[in-house]
Amino acid sequence: MPVQQRKSEAVDAPNKPRLFHYGGFVDLGYLANFNFPANHFFRDRSTTPMVNEFNLNMIGGYVRKDATESSRWGTEWLLQAGEDSKAFGFAVGLPHVEDSDVWRHFGRANVSYLAPVGKGLTVQAGLFNSFIGYESLYAKDNANYTRAWIADYSPYLMFGVNAVYSFNDQWTGAFFIINDYFHLENSNSVPSYGGQVQYKPTSAWTIKETIYYGPDQSDTSIEFWRFFSDSIVEWKGDSLTVGVDYQIGTQRNASVPGNPRDFYTGATLETRWHIAGPWTASVRPEFYWDRNGLMTGSEQFIKAITTTAEYAFRYKWTNTIMRLEYRYDESTGPGGGFFKGPQNVLVSGQHMVIGGIILTLDSP
C-alpha cells in the first residue's frame, strides 16, 4: 500500500494545522485452542503465535510529523514490543540481519519529503509501511483480531526508499527499492525492487497491483530472483466493506539440484459490516498453498475461516476495541498439520475461540 494513510489534520487554531501527532496502543489477547497443544504454539505463525495463555501481543508508541505543502519534511517513529514483534520480519531458513533482536522493536523509522512536483511527489527513506498486503501488523488496524496466512507470509514493513506520485484523483504510482523481501532477513547484499499502481474509478472502489522482484537466496544470479504479485480490489460502502487480496510468488531454488521452481499462492476475502453504534462484524475466508515449503517451511495447503464480533467505543483521545473471534484452520499435505495434545502430534485441523482487547490513544 502507499505511504501510510493519514488522518485528517487537526486544527489548534484557525489556519494552524497540527504538525506532530503522537499516541500509543496496548493489545492483549487469549487464543483458546481446543487441540490443547502442550507447547502452546500456533504452528507456522509469526503473529499471535501463542495459544492457551494470556499474552501481551503488542504494545507500542509513536510520533509522526506529516509532510505537507506548508511543511514539506516529515518523519515517523514507532517503538514496539510483545509477542507479535518477535518473528514478523524474518524468513524461514534464512539468516537474520545483525542486531535483529533490536531492530524488531521498530515499527517505523523514516523521513519523508513532499516535493513540489505536479500534484506532489513524496519520497520516503528508512523503515516504512509495506506496499504489499491488505492487513496491518497491528490488530487495531484490521477487521479481525488474528491475521490471514498471506499477511504473515508477506512483508508488513519495508526497509529502503520509496517514491509515490499521484497523477490525478484516480491514478497513483509508486516505486520502491528495499533490502530484502522481509526486512529482517539477510539473504544477500543485493537490493530488491518493486512498484505499485493504484486506480480509484470511483470513491467506493480501490484497485491495487504491486509487483516485487529481487534476490532472496545466497546466489544472486538473476535466474534465481523471486517474482511476487499482490492484487487487491476493495469496495467500501457506508456500512459494508468488501476486499479481495490475491498473492502469488515463485523463484527457482538455487540450493537444490536441477533448480526446481518453488511456488506459493494464497487469497483472502475480507468483509466488514458496521451493524450499528459500537458493533461491527467481520468474516474472512482464506486459503494458502505453500507447494514446496518455501515460506512456511512445510509443504502444505491451508484453508481457514475467521469470524469476528467487535465492540468499540471512543472517549476523547482514546479508543477501546473488544473482539470475540472464532477461527478454524485446516492444513493438509506432506508437511501440514497443527499441534495437538501432550505429545504435540500433528493433526489436520484446529478450532479456536479468541478474545482480544486493544486500547489506543491518538492525538487529535
Residue 261 has pLDDT above 60, yes or no: yes
| pLDDT value, residue 188 | 96
Residue 98 has pLDDT above 60, yes or no: yes
DSSP track, 76-130 = EEEEEESGGGSSTT--TTSPBPTTHHHHTTEEEEEEEEEE-STT-EEEEEEEEE-
Amino acid symbol at 246? Y
Residue 1 has pLDDT above 60, yes or no: no
Q: Per DSSP, what are the bridge partners of residue 287?
A: 267, 303
Residue 14 has pLDDT above 80, yes or no: no
Residue 18 has pLDDT above 80, yes or no: no
DSSP state of 140: G
Residue 232 has pLDDT above 80, yes or no: yes
| pLDDT value, residue 3 | 41
Q: Mean pLDDT score of the chain, rounded to an integer?
A: 94
Q: What is the pLDDT of residues 354-363, one digit of tens each?
A: 999 999 999 9
How many Å apart are CA 173 and CA 164, to the nearest integer? Answer: 6
| pLDDT value, residue 211 | 98
How many Å apart are CA 169 and CA 156, to the nearest integer? Answer: 26
% of the chain exceeding 70 in pLDDT: 95
Tell me phi and psi for residue 168, to 5 degrees.
Answer: -165, -165
Q: Are 344 and 38 in contact (CB under 8 A)?
A: yes
How many Å apart are CA 30 and CA 28, to the nearest integer? Answer: 7
Q: Are 143 and 284 in contact (CB under 8 A)?
A: yes
Tell me phi and psi for residue 351, to 5 degrees.
Answer: -105, 140
Q: Are 120 and 114 in contact (CB under 8 A)?
A: yes
Q: b/e string for 277-304 if b means 16 or more Cβ within 10 A?
A: eeebebebebbbbbbbbbbbebebebbb
% of the chain exceeding 90 in pLDDT: 93
Residue 115 has pLDDT above 60, yes or no: yes
How many Å apart are CA 78 and CA 303, to the nearest integer? Answer: 33
Give the residue from 353, 2, 348 showing the smallest Cα distance to 174.
2
Q: What angle do CA 308, 285, 350 make, to 5 degrees?
A: 75
| pLDDT value, residue 2 | 41
β-strand 54-65 against 205-214: which pairing, if any?
unpaired
Q: What are 336's three cell numbers?
A: 501440514
How many Å apart are CA 100 and CA 185, to the nearest integer? Answer: 9
Q: What are 287's three cell numbers?
A: 486459503
| pLDDT value, residue 17 | 61
How many Å apart are CA 320 and CA 314, to the nearest integer? Answer: 6
Confidence bin at 364 (pLDDT 50/70/90): confident
Residue 5 has pLDDT above 60, yes or no: no
Residue 259 has pLDDT above 60, yes or no: yes
- Quick one: average pLDDT of 312-316? 94
- For residue 363, count other CB atoms closer than 10 A to its CB: 14
Give the residue from 36, 78, 77, 70 showing the smallest Cα distance to 53.
36
Q: Are 183 and 127 in contact (CB under 8 A)?
A: yes
Class assignment of domain 20-362?
A: mainly beta
Alpha carbon 330 to chain centroid, angstroms: 22
Residue 13 has pLDDT above 80, yes or no: no
Residue 9 has pLDDT above 90, yes or no: no
What is the domain partition of the chain in residue ranges?
A: 20-362
How many Å apart are CA 342 and CA 347, to the nearest integer? Answer: 13
DSSP state of 281: E
- Quick one: average pLDDT of 284-302? 97
| pLDDT value, residue 19 | 83
- For residue 14, count other CB atoms closer than 10 A to its CB: 5
Give the residue from 117, 114, 153, 130 showing the smallest Cα distance to 266.
153
Confidence bin at 4 (pLDDT 50/70/90): very low
Residue 11 has pLDDT above 70, yes or no: no
- Quick one: average pLDDT of 237-241? 97
Amino acid symbol at 268? T
